[in-house]
Structure formats: C-alpha cells, structure tokens
Amino acid sequence: MSSCIFCDILDGLEEASFVHRDELVSAFMDTRPINTGHVLVVPNLHHPYLCDLPREAGERMFTVARAVASGLRRSGLECEGINLFVADGETAMQEVLHCHIHVIPRYSGDGFRLRFGAHYHFVRPARWELDAAAERVRCALPDLPWIRSSDPAR
C-alpha cells in the first residue's frame, strides 16, 4: 500500500465516489466535506505540490474544477456559491501531499470560514514594497514564455 491516500483511490485500493475520470485527472467526493457536494480534483499521477504539476495536468484540473462548479450549481444540492481552494504545502494546510483542488459548494450560514491574521485589515505595504516583492517573484519565475510575454514590466 502506498503512503498517499489519493494514489490508493486512483489505483482502486480505496473506495471513492467519482464525479469524473479521464487520462490526466480525476474528481471524487471528499470524505470529510465542508458541505455536501465537496469535490476534490486531483492529477492521476502523484505530484505533491503545485510546482511539480505538469502544465497540461494543471490546466485540465482547473477545467474539471470549473465543470464541477457548474454541475454543483445545477445539481439541486445546497449551493449559493463556490470556493476553489488549493493548499500548497503543509504550512498552507495541505493535509494530503498530492496536489488537489477543493471545489466547495457554499451557502449562507454554512459556518465555513478562512480566517485572516490580525494584521490583515491594518497593514498596507507601501508601493515600493509591493514593487520589490513583485520583482523578486518575477525574477524567480521559471522560463515559461507564456508567462514572460504577458509580464507588463518586461
């Protein structure tokens, strides 16, 4: 048995209620849902983090997440809105180290909250700080022409 529950599900070693399966990605119901209809979209191959994910699989994951969101709205399940959530790394609340997108149906009074730190509403970085952070990220981007060509600063 592997150490990844999502790989075990995809290999048929663990049960799952699938919403979608294709050659790149699968979508199945979360067994610990925030709300009824909570779906996980995962790549079929093990990629722990977002940066490990091949472009085609990432694009397909988002396409499937979008379709699942549309299906949730039409399903008759309680759904007034949708949250897409990606936790990338344990500090970011990633519990299963297999890249995945949560598609979470939301409705008024459902009780689910992401909390901001106490500083969130009071700290506004100066423009030079934002520009400096943007430059550091821009310089660290992988050499991907479709990102570089759309970079307004270059």
| Residues belonging to the active site | 100
CA–CA separation, 60 vs 6, rounded Å? 17
Residue from 111, 27, 24, 15 nearest 69 by CA:
27
Both structure tokens of 49: 């983090």
With b meaning 16 or more CB within 10 Å and e meaning fewer, what string describes 46-56?
bbeebebbeee
Residue 17: C-alpha distances to residues 38, 50, 73, 152 (Å): 11, 24, 19, 43
DSSP string for residues in 17-58: -EEEE-SSEEEEE-SS-SSTT-EEEEESS---SGGGS-HHHH
